[in-house]
């Protein structure tokens, strides 16, 4: 059974860990923009608690729960050890189970149901792949591309696979959405998850490699632990000596995606790769302290203005004089770009590709 198939229930013990001290007020990125108590972590936990006690789930409740990006900085700072993103996600599941959801939540469900991707795209998911010959049916490692790179950043998918292929990595023939947008917004995702699982099993893959922080988090936490999940930056760092990268005369900064950083503790590998290529200057707040890009948890789809405002706040952390902002998540790249970064925002693989081209 995947975690997704378990009964939706807001655990009272998890709620009682919150003593309403207010530590999370100072870090919640949505609250920083919106300013209302219901739009910070403490308020969301009060809302989740009230829902258990029969509080009517009106629009205010939905906005409270769904403006959380699940960035997890509240959990990292909570002195009592509460896990608010998990509570928020569970509260969303409970409401969705009762048929109470926002238009954006319903939109994710409809799109994934009809197209198995988060955009409702009906085109070829492997449209970015020019050479499909010789893809092995079985491989120790497979590249999980994700919806965003498949449909919005096909060049990133192509560049990533060009490198991974050299190491014998293959692809799922009919990859589906990993389920992340559904799970984060409270909907069941077993249909797509089971289809991905079936293919991973058939390929006898022991390792799944992904370049999307959201996919990474989902494959790692929500799928059964049958295979190892490796992020692209981890893979690149492991194989640095084999890549023959040339130095580039540029200075970049690195944005830690929440689901790769705080949720998974992957901080050093992307930095190792960047430092092998060019100069790295840290953002004002980085690693465990990194601020969210505003894109996650369904916020980009559900509350686009809020999402962009959070991204603008994050961009204030960018140091002066950098040539690019590098990240390891297409959603972060997208949201920071859309917020008007002022410099190019690129995936780590783009930087690696430039260092390879120079060679």
Residues that bind another protein (CB under 8 A): 12-13, 16-17, 19-23, 25-26, 35-38, 42-43, 46-47, 49-50, 53, 55-56, 58, 60-61, 63-64, 78-81
Please report how close the Cβ of residue 265 comes to another protein at its closest, in angstroms: 15
- Is there a contact between 140 and 108 (Cβ–Cβ < 8 Å)? no
Nearer to another protein, 21 or 113 (CB): 21
Nearer to another protein, 17 or 248 (CB): 17
Q: Alpha helix (H) ranges present in the chain?
A: 12-16, 29-34, 41-52, 59-66, 73-77, 84-97, 103-115, 147-151, 154-166, 180-184, 190-202, 213-221, 232-238, 240-243, 268-277, 299-302, 304-315, 330-338, 348-358
Please report how close the Cβ of residue 57 comes to another protein at its closest, in angstroms: 9
Nearer to another protein, 34 or 209 (CB): 34
Nearer to another protein, 13 or 132 (CB): 13
* Structural tokens at position 353: 């590709």
Nearer to another protein, 66 or 118 (CB): 66
Q: Are strands 251-254 and 141-144 parallel, antiparallel or unpaired?
A: unpaired
Please report how close the Cβ of residue 79 comes to another protein at its closest, in angstroms: 4
Please report how close the Cβ of residue 113 comes to another protein at its closest, in angstroms: 29
Nearer to another protein, 79 or 99 (CB): 79
- Is there a contact between 33 and 309 (Cβ–Cβ < 8 Å)? yes
Nearer to another protein, 74 or 177 (CB): 74
139: helix, coil or strand? coil
* Structural tokens at position 329: 């998540």
Nearer to another protein, 33 or 232 (CB): 33
Dihedral sign, CA of 63, 69, 72, 77? negative
State how far the Cα of 307 lies from the Cα of 284, in Å rounded to an integer. Answer: 20
Please report how close the Cβ of residue 50 comes to another protein at its closest, in angstroms: 6
* Structural tokens at position 205: 């893959």
Please report how close the Cβ of residue 227 comes to another protein at its closest, in angstroms: 30
* Structural tokens at position 268: 């050093």
Q: What angle do CA 21, 37, 91 make, to 5 degrees?
A: 85
Please report how close the Cβ of residue 333 comes to another protein at its closest, in angstroms: 30
State how far the Cα of 36 lies from the Cα of 24, in Å rounded to an integer. Answer: 13
Could you tell me which of 183, 194, 229 has the C-alpha nearest to residue 4? 183
Q: Quickly tell me which residue has 């050479």 as its tokens.
A: 131
Please report how close the Cβ of residue 244 comes to another protein at its closest, in angstroms: 39
């Amino acid at each position: 059974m995947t975690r997704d198939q378990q009964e939706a229930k807001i655990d009272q013990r998890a709620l009682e860990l919150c003593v309403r001290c207010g530590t999370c007020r100072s870090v919640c990125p949505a609250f920083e923009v919106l300013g209302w108590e219901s739009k910070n972590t403490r308020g969301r936990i009060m809302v989740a608690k009230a829902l258990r006690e029969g509080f009517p789930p009106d629009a205010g409740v939905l906005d409270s729960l769904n403006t959380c990006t699940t960035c997890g900085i509240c959990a990292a700072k909570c002195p009592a050890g509460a896990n608010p993103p998990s509570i928020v996600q569970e509260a969303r599941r409970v409401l969705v189970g009762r048929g109470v959801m926002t238009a954006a939540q319903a939109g994710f469900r409809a799109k994934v149901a009809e197209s198995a991707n988060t955009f409702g795209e009906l085109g070829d998911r492997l449209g970015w792949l020019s050479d499909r010959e010789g893809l092995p049916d079985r491989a120790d490692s497979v590249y999980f591309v994700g919806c965003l790179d498949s449909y919005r950043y096909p060049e990133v998918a192509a560049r990533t696979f060009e490198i991974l292929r050299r190491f014998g990595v293959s692809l799922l023939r009919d990859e589906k959405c990993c389920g992340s947008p559904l799970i984060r917004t409270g909907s069941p995702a077993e249909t797509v998850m089971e289809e991905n699982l079936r293919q991973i099993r058939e390929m006898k893959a022991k390792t799944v490699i992904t370049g999307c922080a959201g996919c990474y988090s989902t494959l790692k936490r929500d799928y059964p632990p049958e295979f190892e999940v490796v992020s692209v930056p981890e893979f690149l760092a492991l194989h640095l000596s084999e890549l023959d990268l040339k130095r580039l005369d540029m200075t970049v900064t690195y944005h830690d995606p929440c689901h790769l950083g705080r949720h998974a503790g992957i901080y050093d590998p992307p930095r190792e790769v960047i430092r092998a290529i060019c100069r790295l200057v840290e953002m004002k707040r980085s690693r465990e302290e990194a601020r969210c890009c505003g894109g996650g948890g369904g916020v980009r789809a559900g509350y686009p203005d809020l999402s962009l405002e959070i991204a603008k706040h994050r961009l204030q952390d960018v140091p002066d004089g950098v040539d690019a902002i590098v990240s390891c998540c297409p959603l972060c790249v997208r949201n920071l770009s859309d917020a008007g970064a002022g410099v190019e925002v690129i995936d780590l693989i783009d930087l690696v590709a430039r260092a390879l081209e120079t060679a």
